[in-house]
Amino acid sequence: MAVSVPRRRRFTVDEYYEMARVGILKSDERVELLDGEIVRMNPIGSAHAWCVTRLTGIFAPLTGQIVVWVQNPLRLDAFAEPEPDIVIVRHDSPRDRHPGPAETLLVIEVSDSSIGADRGRKRRMYARAGIADYWIVDLNADRLEVYRNPSSGRYRTALLYGTGDTIAPLFAPEHAVDVSEILGQQAPRP
């Protein structure tokens, strides 16, 4: 007798929004849609919140050229709408919908308890969507992981940066950032 393995039912972004509209998902629930699966988001701790605030300040001087999209939805495809900590989107992005891969210049996840998902599932999703520049701020290891050159659903380049290193996003190579500043290991810029 053949054994049948149950298949999971994936939800679309539209179905996800309908669940919120009719109250299946509560407005204060911290969830995101990853590959058709509704996933609870971890609570935001102090170190995480301060890092997101530092990153917002680091990219604020460029706001005439870009939009700093903070902890908001990023629609990758019909089955994925994660809520990264920081997304840098083109200034001319359409204002009638959430940004998608075509408008996205950089995605940053700040990780402590979410490091496994950020390195695994989310990294694969961002690579599949063609996000050219993906950063993970690993608060546990005090380092920055940078992933670039997406191809065939994975990143071909992975780089590690630590205290004393500098990094520039692909969209603004002249905007070098001190990794120590991202990690909170020095006073912020004036």
pLDDT tens readout for residues 63-96: 899 999 999 999 999 999 999 999 999 999 999 9
Is 28 inside any structural domain?
A: no
Is 25 inside any structural domain?
A: no
CATH of the domain at 117: 3.90.1570.10
What whole-number percentage of the chain has pLDDT above 70?
97
Is 13 inside any structural domain?
A: no
pLDDT at 2 over 90: no
The string of pLDDT tens digits covering residues 124-139 is 999 999 999 999 999 9
- Dihedral sign from CA coordinates of 10, 15, 21, 22: negative
State both tokens at 83. Answer: 């809520």
Is 35 inside any structural domain?
A: no
Q: Which residues are 90's β-sheet partners?
A: 66
Domain count, the chain: 1
Q: Which residues contact 147 (CB under 8 A, 6 or more apart)?
A: 123, 126, 127, 133, 134, 135, 136, 155, 157, 158, 159
Q: Which domain holds residue 66?
A: 44-183
The pTM of the full predicted model, rounded to 2 decimals, is 0.92
pLDDT of 108: 98
Q: Could you give the CA distance from residue 127 to residue 124 in angstroms, rounded to a whole number?
A: 5
If pLDDT is split at 50, 70 and 90, which confidence band does 186 have? low
